[in-house]
Amino acid sequence: MKDSIIKYIKNLPPIHPAGRIFIVAFFLAALFIDQFSTFFGWVGLILTVWCAYFFRDPERVITDRENAVVSPADGKITSIIEVVPPKELGLGKEKLKKISVFLSIFDVHINRVPVAGKIIARHYIPGKFLNAELEKSSDKNERMLLTIQRKDKVKVGFVQIAGMVARRIVCYAREGQELEIGERFGLIRFGSRMDVYLPLDADVRVLLGQSVLAGETVLAEIK
């Protein structure tokens, strides 16, 4: 049975490099514990499988539609509203459309860029670890705020938000960096939220409660 679990791990999609150290640590701990308790050795192996599953990094088919805004994360659409964006994004004081994606601990947690362009703002804010499904987590929780500017000067803001279980935001994007639509830029461990701020006239293409895939699902079209 343990051989089957190990075989299952090997057949998982590619693992993000950030997760390898956790998987190895879980696996070694499981082998060590198994010397003293078969039951807890099994528990350790199950946790190792879950850890590998959490850090999976499947390939995605990215759209070539010029004005598409793709989801930056896997998960469920929990909010589509009009709000004044955080000042750190540098998007002005007028209301914009905000689309929120909630990631459970079972979703892929690799984050992808919603549009192609240059990162013109990057701002980290420490905070609380409230349930990321709640709207107030956008203002209260630990978060990383990013603004990207397309070649036509249209700006899109997107925010990585930590949740109750997530305690670590990883962001590789740097100010001044040019990124392609759907390109990987970070991840959040373990359960979280992503907010996307779009021009008010953007044509939203998703519905509340809809499941989305990072890099593949089109959230909106920019006019």
Q: What are the tens digits of pLDDT across the range 109-129?
A: 889 999 999 999 999 998 777
Look at the chain and report how many structural domains it folds into: 2
> Quick check: is 192 catalytic?
yes
Q: For residue 145, is it within any domain?
A: yes
Q: For residue 59, is it within any domain?
A: no
> What tokens were used for 123?
């701002």
Instruction: Tell me: do 30 and 108 sit in the same domain.
Output: no
Instruction: Tell me: do 20 and 127 sit in the same domain.
Output: no
17: pLDDT strictly greater than 80: no
pLDDT at 3 (0 to 100): 62
Most confident of 17-21, 89-93, 187-191: 89-93
Instruction: Tell me: do 151 and 193 sit in the same domain.
Output: yes
Give the residue with greater pLDDT, 14 vs 209. Answer: 209
How many CB atoms sit inside 10 A of residue 136's CB? 10
1: pLDDT strictly greater than 60: no
CA angle (24 as vertex; 21, 30 as ends), nearest 5: 140
Question: Active site residue: 71, 100, 138, 192, which one?
Answer: 192
Cis link prior to 190 (omega < 30° from 0)?
A: yes
Give the CATH number for residue 93: 2.70.70
The whole domain housing 31 covers: 2-54
Instruction: Tell me: do 84 and 15 sit in the same domain.
Output: no
Instruction: Tell me: do 22 and 116 sit in the same domain.
Output: no
Q: What are the tens digits of pLDDT across the range 43-91?
A: 877 777 777 777 778 888 898 888 999 999 999 999 999 999 999 999 9
Q: What are the tens digits of pLDDT across the range 146-183?
A: 999 999 999 999 999 987 765 678 899 999 999 999 99
104 — pLDDT class (breaks 50, 70, 90): confident
Q: For residue 63, is it within any domain?
A: no
- Give pTM, 2 decimals: 0.81
Instruction: Tell me: do 50 and 105 sit in the same domain.
Output: no
The CA-atom distances, in angstroms, between 92 and each of 87, 122, 123, 193, 204 are 7, 16, 16, 23, 21
pLDDT at 98 (0 to 100): 97
Across the range 177-203, mean pLDDT stands at: 91
Instruction: Tell me: do 140 and 38 sit in the same domain.
Output: no
Instruction: Tell me: do 74 and 48 sit in the same domain.
Output: no
Instruction: Tell me: do 77 and 19 sit in the same domain.
Output: no
Q: For residue 77, is it within any domain?
A: yes
